[in-house]
Structure formats: structure tokens, C-alpha cells
Amino acid sequence: MPNMFIIALAALVPLIVGFIWYSKKVFGNAWITASGLTEEKLQGANMPIILILSYVFGLMLAMALLPIVIHQAHIMSILMNEPGIKDVSSEVNTMYTEFMAKYGTNFRTFKHGVFHGILAAIFIGLPIVGTSALFERRGFKYIAIHVGYWIVTMGIMGGIICQFS
């Protein structure tokens, strides 16, 4: 069972990083230009809805990152239909408990989570953002700004989830 407090905390990362990344002092002006937006278009947004939905999407992303950055999450999914898995005196439950006692903390560091978060951003986020951007006729700068954001964001999220879940 994932630590829902850590998932909820990691879900804040896209908002925090986005606040910095898309600020005028970092990539905000370049993003506005690359996306074809104007200050006027940005002013008309319903920010409470945008922030709430962004947080919900962050929760979804954090839950999706959990099995990517924590390898031990797969063990229970392999055994979940085995007869006796829920019976503490069964052979399969004993094997699972002993396995987790011995290997349950392997590769559970912030650094390891960052590594897998970055890989997920490159191999999942880049193709999604890149494909959409190509069909929208966006340029390289647009893709680089957004993918850079997701690399940083998912790296930090992965680190938090891996270290503290």
C-alpha cells in the first residue's frame, strides 16, 4: 500500500516546479512566445479550476510513477492471485514476507527515484509532448521547454516517492 501522504506531497511538485519554470525570470517569456499565447489570453483563465485539475493530474502521475521508481511494488502484483497470499501462515506469504525483509529496501533512495523519474519523462513524456507538438506545428523551443519541465518535475517526484514511500 503506497504512502498516500508522500503521494499527495509528490503531487504538489508539478505545481511548484511549474510556478518557477514558467515564471518570467526563467522560461515564461520563451514559453509564451513559443506557444503563441499573449498576456491577454493568459489573463482570462479560471485559475482555481486549473490549479485543482493540475493537482489531480499530479496525483495521477505520482501514482503512476510509484511502480516505476519502486521495483518492489511489482512483487505483490505477481503474487496477488496466489492461493494463501493473504494467509500469514501460508508458504507464499512467508516467502513474500522474507523476500521483502531481505530486499524490500534495495534501490530505495532519492537518487534512484530521480534516475527513474527522468527516464520516465524522456521515454514517456517526450514522445507524448513531442507528438502533440509536431501535429500542432510547434517548434523545437516549445518541445524543449515542456520536456525540460517534465524531466525536472518527474525526477523530483520520483526521488520523493522512492525515498519516502
Q: Give per-residue pLDDT as tens, 70-82.
A: 999 889 889 999 9
pLDDT at 34: 96
Give the Cα separation of 131 and 138 in Å (integer): 10
Mean local confidence (pLDDT), 45-49: 94
Cα of 42 vs its chain's centroid, Å: 26
pLDDT at 2: 80
Mean local confidence (pLDDT), 2-20: 97
pLDDT at 40: 87
- CA dihedral of 79, 82, 85, 86, whole degrees rounded to 10: 120
Mean local confidence (pLDDT), 34-63: 94
pLDDT at 31: 97
Distances (CA, A) of 12 to 27, 47, 54, 154: 20, 16, 9, 11
Give the Cα separation of 13 and 16 in Å (integer): 5
- Asked whether residue 1 carries a pLDDT value surpassing 80, the answer given is no
pLDDT at 155: 98
pLDDT at 144: 98
